[in-house]
Structure 1
Amino acid sequence: MQFNMKKDVGFITNTEFGELHIAGDEAYGYRPFQLMVASIAVCSGGVLRKILAKKRIEVEDITIDTKVDRNEAEANKIEKIYIHYRIKGDNLKENKIQQSIELASKNCPMAQSVKGSIEIEETFELV
């Protein structure tokens, strides 16, 4: 990927899906921490989706909510990401979903990349 400086603030890159604007100020683009949280949450959710499909657990929908703890005293670094899945489907069993989430966490490349530096807590509810 190539990132080019914008005249005002931030950087821009072109992807097959369009332009991605990144800046420390939300007025000019996605903030870097937002992209990191999105990468981890969506990677985890995508791996979870594949695991559920392989286990033949039919899911109608998955919504992912996130919350972040940051440490202002240390460059506002991300210390913890809370990922909460709202999973919709028929006849879902909590123990099977919990096992699948644990397996997804171990197989998500983004989550594994930050292991030991950012804590990730995953919870779920069935709707």
Structure 2
Amino acid sequence: MEFHMKENGFSTTTTYGTLDISSEEAYGFRPYQLLVSSIAVCSGGVLRKIMEKRRQKVNDIHIKANVTRSGVGANEVQKIHLHFTVEAENVTEEQMEKNMRITRKNCSMIQSVKDSIDIIETFELRL
């Protein structure tokens, strides 16, 4: 990826389109938003693949991310709580717990930050 400076941030162009990034939300995505999005969506995508491989029909996955930042200095991300609301068929609570454990082990974004950001995952199963 290549990033080009703009008046109020940076931008990059991918095959999908242009991504504007700025510390000011009025000019683009804030870096912490991209970090949290990467972690949440990576985890959700891995969860979906795992459930499909286990022949568990997934109708919808909704992910809510609550972020805790330090509030001082660099205001780093300290904790991310991901709450998954999963609408699925042929899935028990026990199977879902196993799905979540496998997801955590196979999500590259979680594995990349696990020693520096506390990632908490919870779920609600809707049949």
- TM-score bracket, normalised by the shorter chain, equals over 0.9
Deviation string 1:89-113 (CA, Å, 9 cap, x unpaired) is 2342111011101110011111000
**Gapped regions of structure 1 (runs ≥ 5):** none
Alignment of 1:85-124 (within 5 A): 85-124=84-123
Structure 2 equivalent of residue 4 of structure 1? 4
User: Aligned residues, how many?
Assistant: 126
Q: Alignment partner of 1:89: what SS?
A: strand
Letter of the structure 1 residue corresponding to residue 119 of structure 2: I
Deviation string 1:73-97 (CA, Å, 9 cap, x unpaired) is 2410000001011101234211101
Identity %: 51
Question: How far is 1:10 from its partner?
Answer: 0.4
**Gapped regions of structure 2 (runs ≥ 5):** none
Question: How far is 1:65 from its partner?
Answer: 0.7
Structure 1's 72 and 17: CA in aligned 2 closer, same or farther, altered over 3 A? same
Q: Alignment partner of 2:116: what SS?
A: coil
Structure 1 equivalent of residue 13 of structure 2? 14
Length-normalised TM-score, structure 1? 0.95
Letter of the structure 1 residue corresponding to residue 63 of structure 2: I
RMSD: 0.9
Alignment of 1:1-127 (within 5 A): 1-7=1-7, 9-127=8-126
The question of whether the paired residues in 1 share the 8 Å contact of 2:65 and 2:82 is answered with yes
Deviation string 1:39-85 (CA, Å, 9 cap, x unpaired) is 00100111111111111111111111101000022410000001011
Length-normalised TM-score, structure 2? 0.95
Where do 4+ consecutive residues of structure 1 move more than 4 Å? none
Letter of the structure 2 residue corresponding to residue 5 of structure 1: M
Letter of the structure 2 residue corresponding to residue 47 of structure 1: V
Question: How far is 1:37 from its partner?
Answer: 0.3
